[in-house]
Structure 1
Amino acid sequence: MRISIITINYNDVQGLERTIKSVQEQTATNYEHILIDGGSTDASKELMESYKNNFSFYSSEPDHGVYDAMNKGILKATGDYLLFLNSGDTLYSNDVLSKVQPYLNTSLAIVYGDLYIIGEDRPSFIHRYPSELDFNFFKNTSLGHPATFIKKELFDVYGHYRTDLKIVSDWAFFLNVICAEHVSYQKIDLTISNFYEGGISTSADFTELRKQEIKTVLLDHYDLYDSNYDALIKENNSKAAIYDLVHPQIGLITTNKTLLKILNKFISLLSFILRKKRSL
């Protein structure tokens, strides 16, 4: 199966070169690299020109945001599976595509592995995704694009990324195809990519916009939103803050229902102790 690696970029020439070199170092050969630049005003265009023989397609022109650029890449892709490796992110090892290939020679719609998170202001760690995905998982998080191989025909059947959403369109796509359409998927025991924190998807500045876009998706398509959802988000954010105080990876186990119950009991006990101390 052929893989289409799609990289989008805007004014991140250093990150772009890091990503390009990472792809070039792969031992596998059955892939293509597509680069979509949003009309950068730094040296990105010159860098693209210097590496142009390594791309099956590249362009530099204004777009309407991240998901518009990703959709442009989808339209140019000729591979069976797509991997979105955006500017700055890198593949975990130079043989990771070779290791993934055997899992792609199937009819699976989505194949995903783990993601190495390179922290901006916290220790780096491997984000290990669960093997079972359901609404309870997507209630808290989403699959990482750089760790997920998506069969191209999914976009033909279920549509491309919504461009009216600025932050959560990938989450909305995964929620639809996995939870509503029940497409096939498989978790593989491989770390796929290195993801550098600091972009729009991980910025605290966009927390409110993210919440509003999630609300829009749930109201428009699932009729699942009610006033309790605001309280749920607030509760999850509070728990996440406590998890990070203990260890940044503890929050990852909240997708496991048994471990979640244990962790919730621990949090309740911790809260009880804190209340007692304050009352003294």
Structure 2
Amino acid sequence: MIKLKISVITINFNNAEGLQKTIESVVNQKNALIEYLVIDGGSTDRSVELIEEHSGKIAYYVSEKDSGVYDAMNKGIKASTGDYLIFLNSGDVFVSEDVIAEAVKVGFEADLVSGNMIYNNNGERRKWIPADQLTFSLFYFTGIPHPSTFIKRTLFDIVGLYDENLTIVSDWKFFILAACKHSCSYQHIDKFISEFSEDGMSSAPENIPTILKEREQVINDHFSAFMPDYEELWAAKKQLRKLRYTIKIKKFFGIR
């Protein structure tokens, strides 16, 4: 039986504390064939020192300026040689030391293999269990967890690299194009893979308008026939949110 090689790619910029946790989480993985790549954006803190301290277990690393997170990810993709790739950015960690080995043991049968993910917001944790099947409507409001998804290396040859013109949702764009335009295969494995630190761009409330704008742009550019449905669903969601808020306020003040 041929052992799958998993390329783990970490993106970092001036987050030495988070990077240390991530590096330790990766290099301590047991019984798995892992190629570890670290792409640093020219950090001025202790990040490069940390990378060099672990250079014996890092297959490839670079520290240089980039145009953004997706430029950095694309550098990692181009340098990788694994059968599957997974992105674990600085501050994120794998849930255990044998999680990669256990995930591979299940048997990867698809282009995209998604496991479960834990959100960590300053110690407050919640779970994300991805869907068992990918549908277009799923991507209206969510998608699949990037840090818990193994991506077949050859899928980037079909779909293309991450869109560097987008600032936050390029991984979401890659997944919706892979699933809904290129009909890639998908597999959900019911195992927790990673813990995601909610201090990144995609988790900041102030970035929600940018996220929505970029998603609308992707749908309009690639799935324009579904744009009216997308707008209608978001309008309905906003109305539902207002209704829930009104009910909550009335309940608080005892208003019927």
TM-score (norm 2): 0.90
Instruction: Please name the residue that 2:150 is paired with.
Output: 149
Instruction: Please name the residue that 1:19 is paired with.
Output: 22
User: What is the deviation of 1:216?
Assistant: 1.1
Does the C-alpha gap of structure 1 residues 274 and 32 become closer, same or farther in structure 2, counting only changes over 3 Å? same
Instruction: Please name the residue that 1:2 is paired with.
Output: 5
User: What is the deviation of 1:238?
Assistant: 6.6
Instruction: Please name the residue that 1:136 is paired with.
Output: 137
1:97 aligns with 2:97: no
Q: Matched residues in 2 for 1:273 and 1:183: separation?
A: 45
Does the C-alpha gap of structure 1 residues 99 and 272 become closer, same or farther in structure 2, counting only changes over 3 Å? closer
User: What is the deviation of 1:104?
Assistant: 4.4
Q: Matched residues in 2 for 1:126 and 1:180: separation?
A: 28
8 Å CA contact retained: 1:215, 1:225: no
Instruction: Please name the residue that 2:180 is paired with.
Output: 179
1:74 aligns with 2:62: no
Which of 39, 42, 51 in structure 1 is aligned with 2:42?
39
User: What is the deviation of 1:180?
Assistant: 1.8
User: What is the deviation of 1:79?
Assistant: 0.3
User: What is the deviation of 1:105?
Assistant: 4.8
Q: Matched residues in 2 for 1:50 and 1:223: separation?
A: 49
Q: Matched residues in 1 for 2:212 and 2:249: separation?
A: 31
Instruction: Please name the residue that 1:119 is paired with.
Output: 121
Q: Matched residues in 2 for 1:272 and 1:182: separation?
A: 42
Q: Matched residues in 1 for 2:164 and 2:99: separation?
A: 31
Q: Matched residues in 1 for 2:85 and 2:112: separation?
A: 10
Task: Give RMSD over aligned pairs.
Answer: 2.6
Percentage identity across paired residues of the two chains:
39
Structure 2: which 5+ runs fail to align?
none
User: What is the deviation of 1:278?
Assistant: 7.6
Instruction: Please name the residue that 1:191 is paired with.
Output: 192
Q: How many residues align?
A: 253
8 Å CA contact retained: 1:19, 1:88: yes
8 Å CA contact retained: 2:16, 2:50: yes
Tell me which amino acid in the other structure corresponds to 2:237.
N
User: What is the deviation of 1:100?
Assistant: 1.1
User: What is the deviation of 1:176?
Assistant: 0.7
User: What is the deviation of 1:226?
Assistant: 4.3
DSSP-derived class of the 1:82 partner:
strand
8 Å CA contact retained: 1:91, 1:193: yes
Q: Matched residues in 2 for 1:217 and 1:55: separation?
A: 35
Name the one with the larger helix percent. Answer: 1
Structure 1: which 5+ runs fail to align?
243-266
Instruction: Please name the residue that 2:210 is paired with.
Output: 209
1:58 aligns with 2:96: no
8 Å CA contact retained: 2:84, 2:153: yes
DSSP-derived class of the 1:135 partner:
coil
8 Å CA contact retained: 1:140, 1:236: no
Alignment deviations for residues 164-203 of structure 1 (CA, whole Å, 9 cap, x no partner): 0000001011001112221111101100001111110111
User: What is the deviation of 1:136?
Assistant: 1.6
